[in-house]
Each structure stands twice: as C-alpha cells, then as structure tokens.
Amino acid sequence: MKVNFYAVDCEMNDQIDIACGGATVLGFDFYTDIKDNIEDTKQYIKTMLNKYHLPLISITITTINMNMDRLWTREMMEKCIKTGY
C-alpha cells in the first residue's frame, strides 16, 4: 500500500542519549493515506505542535510502499503530539 510518510523533526537529542545509540533528532513519524492533501496535513501538524508548545525543525514528506494496517488520523496525530506517544 502506498502511504505518505511524515517525518517531523522537533529537537536535537542530548549527547548522552545519542552516545548510547539514541536518535540524533527527536520528533514524530506519521503515515497517512496518499489521498490526503499533503499541504493541509503539514499545516495541521504545525498547528498541533504550536498548540502544545513543541518546537519544529522540519517536516519531510515521502510517499513510500508499506504494509500498513492502521493509518494515522488527525485525532491520533494530535493525541500523539499532546502526550508524546
């Protein structure tokens, strides 16, 4: 199944966590239906980050083939951004 993959980079990880194998940049990964309007979804993500006072470095959008049983809804994205998981 083709999906839009949103890699949302929010902030740099601390050096100790990176040294232990953690990611360099912290953020969120969201997968949506390719029928979704990319610019609208991108703006929604920015709005949610702002609403919950999270920084934004960048949003990278790629269309990929992936077996996805469950795509992200906007409500799921907001809950993830709000709670961190």
Mean of pLDDT values over 59-81: 94
pLDDT digits (tens, 9 = 90+) for 17-60: 999 999 999 999 999 999 999 999 999 999 999 999 999 999 99
Pair 65, 24: CB distance under 8 Å? no
DSSP bridge pairs for 30: 6
Q: Tell me what pLDDT residue 40 has.
A: 98
pTM: 0.90
What b-and-e string marks burial along 34-64, b requiring 16 or more CB atoms within 10 Å of the CB? eebeeeebeeebeebbeeeebeeeebebeee
